[in-house]
Each structure stands twice: as C-alpha cells, then as structure tokens.
Amino acid sequence: MDKYTSSQPLLPHSSLPERSSSKKSLALLLCLFALLALLVPSPLNPLNASLSSWTPSAAPLKNTCGQAEAIIPDVAVHDIASVWKEKDRIVSWHQGAIRVPTQVYDEMGEPGEDHRWDIFQELHDYLENAYPLIHKNLKRTKVDTYGLIYEWFGSDDSLQPLFLTAHQDVVPVLQDTVYQWKQDPFNGTYDGTYIWGRGSNDDKSGLTAIMSAIELLLQSSDFQPTRTVILGFGHDEERGGQRGAPAIRDWLLENYGPDSMSLLVDEGSGISTTWGRSFGLPAVAEKGKFNLNMTVSTLGGHSSIPPKHTNIGMTSLLVAALEKNPHPVILEEESPIWGFLQCAANYAPDMPKGLKKSVGKAQGSKKAFEELPEEVIDVGLGGDWATAGMGDMTEALLTTTQAADIIYGGVKVNALPEVVTVIVNHRINIASTPSDVISHIFNTILPVAKDLGLRISGLGQSYTPKGTLRGHITLGDAFEPAHEPAPISPTDLGTAAWRVLAGTSRGVWASRPEVSKDGKMVDLPEKEELIMAPYMGTGNTDTRRYWDLTRNIYRWRYFPDAANQGAHTINERVSADAMVEFARFYQALILNVDASRDM
C-alpha cells in the first residue's frame, strides 16, 4: 500500500507538469520511429537477427491515487473505542434532536416576525440539557438569533482552528405523504437497527455525532485542546443557507480573519462499496447553483374562447424545450470524478475492464480523455445513490442539471390564465458558470418565443418579435442570486489537512468493531483497506458560504451509504451502529488534528 508521498496526488495541482507540447510530441514520435526502424525485422538490421516479431505493450496505468498512512489517536490520550459503551446515550441524543421539528421553507420572514423560526429555540434548549459538559466547557455564541457557534479554546493561538459544521434545520414533511412513513417522521423511533425520522440522516446525524463526540470526550478524558476547535451549526441550509451560515462566516471573519481555519469538515458523501472496493469519498468540490424564475404574462379572457395555446400551454412548451436540450456533458482534468476514476482503476478489482482500459488511455491521450465521459455515463460509477424518482446519478455529476420543480398559474377554471411562473433549479457543473447557464436558457427558449410571439427580457437577455405580440417572458432568479461552483480542495498528500483527514478515516476503518476486538488498529489485507478518493456532490451545502475561511473544505461523512436512507423523502432513517462510528470518527479527527503540527 502506498504510504505518505507527495508525488502521488489524487488530482492535478500546481506542481504537476502539463501535457507535452506539440513540439515535444513530434520529437517523441520521431524517436519512436527511429526505435521501430531498429527493431523491425530486416536482413540489413543485425539487432533483429533473432527477432521474428515485436508488439508494443499497452501503457501501464499511472498510480495517481496515493494513500495517507492510517492513524488513530494514542490510547494514552483517549481510547476512542470507548464511545461504543455509550451507544444507548448516542441513540437517545439523536432521538431527542429528531423530535424537535426544525422545518424550514423557501420563503420565510425575519426571526421574531415569522414564528416558524421559534422551534429552533426549543432545539437549543434541548442541546443545552442533553450536552451539559459542552455548555460548561465551550463558549456558545448565537448569530442571527438561531445560528450556533461553539468555541473550544486551545492553548496555542498560533495553531489554526479546526472547524466542524452541520445544520440544525430539516426539509419539511409533506402532510400528504405522512401515511407512507413506516414510522412517525418526528418521533425518532428506534427499532433496534435504525433510528427513524426527518433529519435523522440530513443533517441531524452530523449535529449529533459532533456533539456526542465532544461530550463523551469531556466526560471520559482529561483532554484539553492545544488547537482551538470551532463548531458552526446553521439553521437554514435547506433553504440555501441564506441566513445561518453567512452570519457564522461573518462572525468568524471578524474574530479570526480570512484563511484562518486549518480544516473544515461538513456534511457530504460517505463510504461506498463500488466495484468490489470500499471507498471513502469526500466531496472536494461542489456545483454552482441557479434558480431560474421564468414568468410568462399574457392577456386573459373567458375559457370558452381559448387561443391555440393558453399561457399554461405556452409555459409548458418553454419547459419542454429546456428538457429537450440538456446542458453538455463535460469532464475536465481537475474534476474530482476524474480523480475517482483513476483511483478506481488502480484499486477496484471489479471495475469493468473496458472502462479501466479507457481510463488508462485517457491518462495520456487527449482524444481518449474527451471520449471518456460518454463511456462513464453508459457504464455508470458502480454505486446506486439515486432513488426511484430521480435520474441518472453519473450523468448528473458530469453536467449542469436542470429541474422544473415549481409551477403555478391560473385562478379559475373558466378564466384564461394571465400569469404563469415556473422555477427551474440548475446545479452548475464545475466546468461551467452561471453566465453559461443563462446563455443556454436564452438560446433554447428563443425559437419557442419566436414561434409563439413572446417577448423576452431579464438576466441581460432581450428579444422582441417583429409580428403580433402575444405575451412577455420575464427571466430572473428565484430565492437567491446564482453562485459559482466551489473551488476544488486539495487532495495531494503534501497537503497536511487532507493527509490527516484521509489518514484518520483509514485508521477508524481499520479499527472498527468488525475487524478489531479491542478498538486498536489492525493491519488489514490491502484489498480490505479503505481507499480515500476525491468525489463531488450533486447538491449544495453551507460550505459555499465558508470559502473565505479555508481552502481545505471537505464535505465528508464517515458513514456507509447503506447505513442511511430517505434523505428529503419518506422513511428517512440511519443505522444506530453507524451513528456510534460517526461519533468515534469525530473524536479521532479532533485528537489527530490536535496532535498535528503540519496544519
């Protein structure tokens, strides 16, 4: 197994050489021809007297997936396996958090005016009662009324703090679907295997794991951090993080400054068994986001004399045009998906042979690299993360997605609708920009607008038909301004933050109860080790508000994919055992980061 070496980056970075120039390629080609001339069988070539034939072998696959050495904290400091003795308490803590229905909605007023925010005070009261040692030993600060910041002060101010984040809020439970839940969505039922309820997975699991880890660390050890640990819990991530995370960021910038955090870990992707290999897949990048508000305005009238297309019909044609013209599939060398594919080619024994061969070719051929995305989509990435109502996960990772999620218009069954609004959610590929998306939208709906006699305005776009004007399309953003894709966090082993995060994850894996009776790290066979690889989520997290605080942002949950189900839909649940391991991971991370002097 490859140990610590900065010569094996997972993704391209500034120290990597660029692909050969055309002049270098020509020189190499001439050298190859010269070599062939020497090796081709010929009576005039004495070197080939004993050669009947020669076939060049395929280029070997480059190992661009170096692995950090597995590490867990010294037992003399703290035995992280002791969290298993507290499984019942961790389950109970999580149940209590689920039972507080901190639902948020796209449109909400100010705290104090919109009473839907009031429920967060109930959660704060619960946290204070459930975790007394945290509230005794850490300093709590509230921002924007309900955002939470905890500071566990270290003894050395020269060390940059560790920043751990989660969010308190959950998506609403649609009342029309409650009957489909196997358990009450806000009861926190524990059936002996799973803990059920809205937020059990997204993201009160992170909140409980972090708080449990620290409460139990304070209870069972004399550990006092050398490096400050900061916790940040926003209260509206599910509505775009418009209030909580920005308020937390601004407070941290004022009190700690820009680029002040050594490492940020937030919710994200987890542990996936893919092609016969267990991968840890922190999301090191995040898509951009743009919510299109497209409003079509027309004249109304009595429904007994309708035009060829009512306003709703026109809007439907516009939406259909967008869906018939998806954004292009793009894979770049900087993409975490390319990094993952290279890791899989090196370590996954059941990776389809054809795809593995194509990855090897793409490492040295621009043409092969450009052809790779379509094959990846056709084959898939080996995991099954999407639910039945969703689309193709692999394609979603390689393109800008668009989803018409909200539409409303019309007020009476016998009155022609005058105003129809549709909101289309876009998740912007890391190789694209919001301006690219807006241009694509305009160019796609323009032919329809011409055919229907509709004017277009908004978002810097404009069109006026020459003939009869039937209506007006207004383009704008919904709920929040568009934002760019996130910067890609480093994954080369020369980056201490990645090395500690990846090494800790591998160490916790190698000391889990399934392989270790006493919680000590065991020497696993190479094929059973956890391989850490870069990945990317399809959604957005609060981390998009924290870019100014650190470049080392990793959206990572030490959580098997199979151990959590139902995020944003019915029957959300998490494995109780996985919750204990999640807390054990956070203890290990806090202690390992505290021991590091490279960060």
Provide block-wise average pLDDT over 10 residues at a time, the chain (599 residues): 42 38 40 41 33 33 86 95 98 98 96 98 98 98 98 98 98 96 98 98 98 98 97 97 97 98 97 96 97 97 97 98 97 96 97 97 96 96 70 94 97 97 97 97 98 98 96 96 96 97 98 96 97 93 98 97 91 98 98 97
The verdict on whether omega for the bond into residue 203 sits within 30 degrees of 0, i.e. cis, is yes
Domain finish residue from 477, 512, 530: 477
| pLDDT given for residue 390 in this prediction | 85
Residues in the chain, overall count: 599
In a domain, 237, yes or no: yes
Same domain, 372 and 472: yes
pTM value is 0.88
Token reading at 343: 């890791």
Same domain, 294 and 249: no
In a domain, 111, yes or no: yes
Beta-carbon-side half-sphere exposure of residue 344 (alpha carbons within 13 Å): 29
| pLDDT given for residue 58 in this prediction | 39
| pLDDT given for residue 53 in this prediction | 27
CATH, residue 229:
3.40.630.10
Q: How far is 258 from 265, CA to CA, in rounded Å?
A: 17
| pLDDT given for residue 50 in this prediction | 29
The sign one gets for the Cα dihedral 379, 384, 389, 390 is negative
Same domain, 293 and 412: yes
Q: Which residue has the tokens 């997972």?
A: 10
Strands 283-286 and 471-477: unpaired
Angle at 281 between CA 350 and CA 150, to 5 degrees: 160
In a domain, 197, yes or no: yes
In a domain, 8, yes or no: no
Domain finish residue from 423, 443, 477: 477
Which are the contacts of 394, defined by CB distance < 8 A and separation ≥ 6?
376, 377, 380, 381
Same domain, 245 and 113: yes
- 553: DSSP letter: E
Same domain, 248 and 384: no
Provide the 3-class DSSP secondary structure of residue 419.
Answer: strand
In a domain, 309, yes or no: yes
| Phi, psi of 114, rounded to the nearest 5 degrees | -95, 110
Beta-carbon-side half-sphere exposure of residue 22 (alpha carbons within 13 Å): 0
Residue set of the binding site for Zn(2+): 167, 202, 238, 266, 568
Domain finish residue from 448, 477, 506: 477
| pLDDT given for residue 389 in this prediction | 79
Give the chain's radius of gyration (CA, Å): 27
Q: How far is 314 from 170, CA to CA, in rounded Å?
A: 35
Task: Classify residue 375 as exposed, middle or buried by CB count within 10 Å of its CB (0-12, 13-18, 19+).
Answer: middle
Same domain, 252 and 316: no
Same domain, 472 and 555: no
Domain of residue 349, residue span: 289-477
Same domain, 117 and 190: yes
Give me the active site residues, please: 169, 237
Same domain, 260 and 294: no
Token reading at 228: 């400050």
SS (H, E, C) 297-360: EECCCECCCCCCCCHHHHHHHHHHHHHHCCCCECCCCCCHHHHHHHHHHHHCCCCCHHHHHHHH
Q: How far is 448 from 454, CA to CA, in rounded Å?
A: 8
Task: Classify residue 389 as exposed, middle or buried by CB count within 10 Å of its CB (0-12, 13-18, 19+).
Answer: exposed
Same domain, 241 and 311: no
Same domain, 306 and 447: yes
Position 47: which residue type? Answer: L
Same domain, 251 and 311: no
Q: How far is 395 from 407, CA to CA, in rounded Å?
A: 25
Asked if residue 292 lies in contact with residue 479, where contact means CB atoms within 8 angstroms, the answer is no
CATH, residue 340:
3.30.70.360
| pLDDT given for residue 39 in this prediction | 39
